[in-house]
Structure 1
Amino acid sequence: MTLSALHNGEVFTGRGLNQEISLWCPGEARWGSHYESLIRLITMFSSVVHVLEIVLEDDISSEQRGEAFALLDSIQYFDFSFCLHLMKDILGITAELSDALQRKDQDIVNAMSLVQISKIRLQDMRDNKWDAFITRVSLFCVEHKIITPDLNDKWIARGRSRRGHQEMTNLHHYRVDIFYTVLDMQLQELNNHFTEANTELLLCIACLNPSNLFSAFNKDKLIKLANLYPSDFTSSDLMILDNQLETYITDMKLDVQFSLLKDIGSLVEKMIQSRKEILYPLVFRLLKLALVLPVATAGVERAFSAMAIIKNRLRNGIGDQWMNDTLIAYVEKEILDCIVNDVIIHLFQNMKNRMYKL
């Protein structure tokens, strides 16, 4: 369809044009981009095969011809189509959860709801969706002239000797060894990362969110949160906190300067500016605990991605201090943009005596 549209002049080639029908380049730390890539590949599969065939026939580079041959051999195989659709379905189930966890203004309550929904959908896919899934994969293979194996035949590992392998049918291999195994791994990962205790902790922290005039506030859950930190809150502190939370929430709702806050970080800043952290020390302690709680956010993912970029093959011997300084400069670009060059030059010049002045 894409090729005919190009020949008929309905769409045009060029940089930045027709991106809705081009292959999507996935990001290293954004799973949503992988989902888009798989959808584009399924939609444009015939065009991809056609382009690879052109490269195989016409390209003068033996290296590119070899890569094109290897890719054609791989993607025109049933295993590739099976895994392509399986990963597309799994990433589709967790797409909204992934987006919710990567947003800076995280809505923890809705995110935790999406965790439960993802678990339910993955379990339902495992228990009830095999027949519909294998039918969809088979139709895709028929459409693109890919040989579909008989599921009742004996499975033979491609490119390997038949000796020493456990005998099984194609049905067992694709359904049990791949379909069930991958879905079980996804469910296990979600259960490991979002246990019942972790989920309850996050929901309690969400009650501190000041957005929508502190609509998420729940005193009972905040008392429960304080109970999780016995070294920070004594039994007498808990009794004081019960009353202090009532005064605190009434004050926050009456004070206009707190009405437009969107996250816990801005709430802490405003409390310090207005010196209310002195009035509500126990509530402020809860806020500090919420800020330092090591939750896996998009910021943490970006920091690890930056680490892979900073400490590359050419900087393999970089020291901890140098890497730390470089990572701060790379990750906190918005803050560094606010610092004028004269300040940086002055600081660098005063670090030690130098022969020349910048």
Structure 2
Amino acid sequence: MYADKPPMELKRLSDTRWACGYFSVHVVSRCLPAILKVLDDITHEPNPERSLDVSSLKGLVDFQFVLMLCVFQDILGAAKCTSDILQSPNTDLAKAMDIIDTIKDRIAMLRSREEDFEPIWQHAADIVNDSGITVPDVGHKDLIISRRSRRQIRAPERLHDSILLELLVQHRGGNTKEEFRTDIFYVILDTVASELSDRFTSGVMRGIHALNPANEGFLNLEKIKPLAKIYSANLDDLVHELPQAKRL
């Protein structure tokens, strides 16, 4: 099916390496038509148990599945570029924080500008076109983008003889374009932004870098303050001690 292209392989997933996640998502999105063809071939094999398992697996590959692929391809792609730069031996801590701030800005922009979601949606539509999956009408706000049926919400049996004064709340599963953007896409962005903030605290990183004599901001009080506060250092003493330490 892709005789004129080099082979692509899935990499082992890692909880700490962003690049592994990006390569896996990239390979699946690029080779989805071939993957679906293999699943089709397996469903016609004489082994009924295996055929049933594959049919169930194939049933999960719908527009929402492809849309999730495109979302993570976009986010993990930006994370991979950041990871590659951070691993460079020429990148100091100050530059590293500037790079982290760049990806944070990218996440914030995706979160605040609805029009930035459109290229991701269109990319998913292009993939499902190539893969033979039904493409929804992108202009229909109430469009169901997942073939999986919604469960009918019911009151618990213990409430059957009771009068309900409030409506039962049913969690939306991202079945329309608007629901997907607000209930899934934004939640993913918020989670990524939170993880970046937890793992990379700019003040502390720059404070550590200010302890390096090769840094232009070596022993700069303003840069060291966030780090000093963590260790409960006396800032009044540092005002006098840092200028003397520079002379040593």
In structure 2, relative to structure 1, the CA distance for the partners of 1:224 and 1:242 (3 Å cut) is: farther
- 1:147 maps to 134
Q: Larger relative contact order (C-alpha < 8 A, sep ≥ 6)?
A: 2
Unaligned 5+ segments in structure 2 are 155-169
> Distance between the aligned counterparts of 2:181 and 2:238, measured in 1?
56
> Distance between the aligned counterparts of 2:238 and 2:118, measured in 1?
58
After superposition, the C-alpha distances for 1:134-182 in whole angstroms (9 at most, x for unaligned) are 1221121112111123333354872333446478972322222222232
- 1:344 maps to none
Task: Give the secondary-structure state (helix, strand or coil) at the position aligned to 1:94.
Answer: helix
**In the alignment, structure 1 residue 161 sits paired with structure 2 residue 151:** yes
- 2:104 maps to 119
What pairs up with 1:276-315 in 2 under 5 angstroms? none
> Distance between the aligned counterparts of 2:125 and 2:143, measured in 1?
18
- 2:73 maps to 88
Count matched residues.
226
Contact 2:11 2:23 in 1 (8 A): yes
Amino acid at match of 2:180: Y
1:70 equivalent among 42, 56, 70:
56
Task: Give the secondary-structure state (helix, strand or coil) at the position aligned to 1:90.
Answer: helix
Task: Give the secondary-structure state (helix, strand or coil) at the position aligned to 1:129.
Answer: helix
In structure 2, relative to structure 1, the CA distance for the partners of 1:110 and 1:61 (3 Å cut) is: farther
Distance apart, 1:101 and its partner CA: 5.5
Contact 2:67 2:120 in 1 (8 A): no
**In the alignment, structure 1 residue 201 sits paired with structure 2 residue 187:** no
- Richer in helix (by share): 1
Distance apart, 1:234 and its partner CA: 7.3
Contact 1:226 1:238 in 2 (8 A): no
Q: Which runs of 4+ in 1 moved over 6 A?
A: 102-106, 166-169
After superposition, the C-alpha distances for 1:236-264 in whole angstroms (9 at most, x for unaligned) are 565233212222xxxxxxxxxxxxxxxxx
After superposition, the C-alpha distances for 1:335-354 in whole angstroms (9 at most, x for unaligned) are xxxxxxxxxxxxxxxxxxxx
TM-score, structure 2 normalization:
0.74
Distance apart, 1:37 and its partner CA: 0.8
- 1:52 maps to 39
Unaligned 5+ segments in structure 1 are 6-10, 12-17, 248-358
Contact 1:223 1:241 in 2 (8 A): no
Distance apart, 1:67 and its partner CA: 3.4
Query: What CA RMSD, in Å, does the superposition of the two structures yield over aligned residues?
Result: 3.3
TM-score, structure 1 normalization:
0.54
Amino acid at match of 1:240: E
Contact 2:207 2:225 in 1 (8 A): yes
> Distance between the aligned counterparts of 1:125 and 1:107, measured in 2?
28
Contact 1:208 1:216 in 2 (8 A): no
Contact 2:64 2:145 in 1 (8 A): no
